[in-house]
Structure 1
């Protein structure tokens, strides 16, 4: 079952593209924009990741960290991050355990879905945006949700 706004987010504890362990319980009071995407270096995923890259400083100024998640391996994430100068971690979710914990749906039963979660400082999901086709819209939704949290 998919998690929704108001639900407590599961612990995020995965390694990133550089092999560094990332844990959501070690964010030191920051919000988290966690975006699940289907696959490295595909057109929609590249547009989404680059949109987050282009707004990274803005999202950080709103008190958030940004982490991307897909089932691709560490080497794929390294290439993707390097090729597009991504300043945020890409978490390796091989086996899709984290994707399943959040209940991110597959599209047509085949394609991994594209869903972004905005998680507040207390670990509560405050916004969920599910849209496979418009990757760049995920950044806009995350920014708007963070602005609402700052009020």
Structure 2
């Protein structure tokens, strides 16, 4: 069973790139862009992460937080974040439990973890899903959707 638009994201925990325990419910209260990507330090994933990095301040100005998720270890995430100066949280999903929870598909005959971006409102409800293996449009689509869906958020 995977999450779909309109579903409330259930509480979960995972380790971030610093080895700290990330607890979902503690991060509610603002829109969240949660993006799943296949692997740290690969060409498409690096381009996507750096695009989120380059637009991060715009997301923050819109009141949103960006969180990346892959099956890499916390140690790999630490190196990846330091190498590319990534200012946002990276969660380790080595057991694929988050991919299963969100219903992130695999591609290339089940060999490659999927690339999906989820937009979640401040109450924790899933409001938009973008599923595309190309890393190119995730950031611009996420930013446009955050602007569209949460245009009144900062005024509340």
Instruction: Please give the TM-score of this superposition, normalised by the length of structure 2.
Output: 0.91
**Long gaps (5+) in structure 1:** none
Moved over 3 A (4+): none
Q: Distance in 1 between matches of 2:28 and 2:3?
A: 23
Q: Which residue of 1 aligns with 2:44?
A: 44
Please report how far the alpha carbon of residue 10 of structure 1 lies from its aligned counterpart in structure 2 after TM superposition: 2.7
Q: Does the CA contact (< 8 Å) of 1:10 and 1:102 recur in 2? A: no
Conserved? CA contact 1:2–1:105, under 8 Å: no
Please say if 1:86 is aligned against 2:72.
no
Partner SS state of residue 44, structure 2: helix
Matched, 1:112 2:103: no
TM-score under structure 1 length normalisation: 0.94
Write out per-residue CA displacement over residues 89-136 of structure 1, whole angstroms, 9 at most, x where no aligned residue.
110111110111001000121110000000001111111001112x13
What secondary structure is seen at the aligned counterpart in 2 of 1:50? helix
Q: Give a deviation string over 1:31-58, Cα, whole Å, max 9, x none.
A: 1110000000000000110010000010
Q: How many pairs were matched up?
A: 150
Tell me how far apart the structure 1 counterparts of residues 12 and 84 of structure 2 sit (CA, whole Å).
Answer: 24
Counterparts of 1:59 and 1:123 in 2: how far apart (Å)? 17
State whether residues 120 and 127 of structure 2, in contact with CA within 8 Å, keep that contact through their aligned partners in structure 1: yes
Secondary structure at 1:15 match in 2: strand
